[in-house]
Structure 1
């Protein structure tokens, strides 16, 4: 990415109201609601050339993507944190289906992100929020490594609610009750969380899939750092694992400008609002009414019955 636009150039361009605009109109591709610009690229994305030594971080939005991609980057670089911090995580992990705002692409002659990803030397780390059935099929035929993260859907709803308001996305401005109805429907971007989760839950035993839970990362970050490292074929020392764990604590990530998306999104101009808000489990308890909680419990029971997928709270 650096060869097309530097971090500082990108920051300045994002401060401009005109160049900062992302189109938020949704379209539909194979029954899934996606940003219209993504729908237009889907045929090309489906034919993306996957490599066997790729690591793909796939999540439903707000399930822990930024957290896990930083752990993966640290493991990829054998715990060399100086190397990891050389540039922003966004510039190291291409977001398959999301390109830069159109005006920035025009000004800097930037190709779509998936074409930039094709130029990155191996081994690559790539992230996507696409549901499994819409990912490039070569992920499965070439057995690329996939790290998938599941988060309690109640906490996911709260995190997504604040995120959409932060960036003025499709669900911005809705009261929380209406937002729940929107996000728990097939009218929301990336489809339903349960379909997204279950696609990978059913494939969790495949050797190239590592399924993680956000809540487990909170409970035992060090243990999960080691699990991720081993999954990537890295036998790291205890000290290196400790260093990565410290580097990837929520407070350290939030204060690190080479990790926190706020540094690139100019959220410093939006006091009290942040991409990395709290990073906690159980915050739904201060947002859901009793009726909303009961309705969500009923939905979870209906959609996940018989699958074996459950949540602690």
Structure 2
């Protein structure tokens, strides 16, 4: 691979998006963190296929905290506890995790939509790859799946300069503060949250996700 992933799948909300996405080329892959109320209406009645990747919110909070530490364009927080309060209040970039996940999931009948979780990928990467292929209508031979599976495993991705964001200069991402691809595990929140924080998080989760049939894995033990 010789093309950085932000050129292969440019971020819709970034300033370079228009320059990266060439007119007339396709099919194209576009990445975004935008919430459904901003983007979904524009995707309805189009040929766009939407793959929504969710991750359990405790691990998202930990990951987002470390990203704040390295991203020069985001506010830093003195402690994880301070960031966790902000996260649970939804006062972070792109808003509430709960609203974001529920909002997109509620669009599943209005769009050509595939919902998948990070935990699915960790449990059975090969099965997840095949699921995405079926959704996109792009079946692959076993040897092709082998290659994709190999390159998409975290140890490989974390060392791949086209993927791990080490090409981004320190003025934008301070790689001495944290790695963009840090651990890639399920359940890292247990190393960061106290039992009291976890219990409080569970209570808020139950309140915010009441009536939603989505289930999340908090660890893979």
| TM-score of the pair, normalised by structure 2 | 0.90
Name the counterpart of 2:203.
298
Q: CA deviation at 1:207?
A: 6.2
Name the counterpart of 2:85.
181
Task: Note the residue ranges of structure 2 that are not aligned, 5 or more in a row.
Answer: none
From 33, 44, 47, give the equivalent of 1:129.
33
Name the counterpart of 2:147.
243
**1:232 aligned onto 2:148:** no
Give distance in 1, aligned partners of 2:115 and 2:168: 29
Query: Which deviations, in whole Å up to 9, do the C-alpha atoms of 1:277-312 show, x marking residues without a partner?
Result: 001100000100011001100010000011112222
| TM-score of the pair, normalised by structure 1 | 0.65
Q: CA deviation at 1:275?
A: 0.4
SS in 2 for 1:122: coil
Q: CA deviation at 1:169?
A: 4.2
Distance 1:269 1:301, change over 3 A: closer
Name the counterpart of 1:256.
160
Give distance in 2, aligned partners of 1:162 and 1:303: 24
SS in 2 for 1:148: strand
1:1-313 alignment runs, 5 A limit: 85-99=1-15, 112-114=16-18, 116-117=20-21, 119=23, 121-135=25-39, 137-205=41-109, 208-266=112-170, 270-271=175-176, 273-313=178-218
Indicate if the aligned counterparts of 1:171 and 1:179 stay in contact, CA closer than 8 A. Answer: no
Report the count of equivalent residues: 217
SS in 1 for 2:43: helix
Distance 1:290 1:236, change over 3 A: same
SS in 1 for 2:167: helix
Query: Which deviations, in whole Å up to 9, do the C-alpha atoms of 1:170-225 show, x marking residues without a partner?
Result: 34133111101111223221110011000122233556111111001000000001
Give distance in 2, aligned partners of 1:268 and 1:304: 33
RMSD: 2.1
Distance 1:170 1:270, change over 3 A: closer
* Relative contact order higher in (CA < 8 Å, ≥ 6 apart): 2
Give distance in 2, aligned partners of 1:138 and 1:244: 31
Task: Note the residue ranges of structure 1 that are not aligned, 5 or more in a row.
Answer: 1-84, 100-111
Bigger Cα displacement from structure 2, 85-94 vs 168-177 = 168-177
Give distance in 2, aligned partners of 1:299 and 1:201: 19
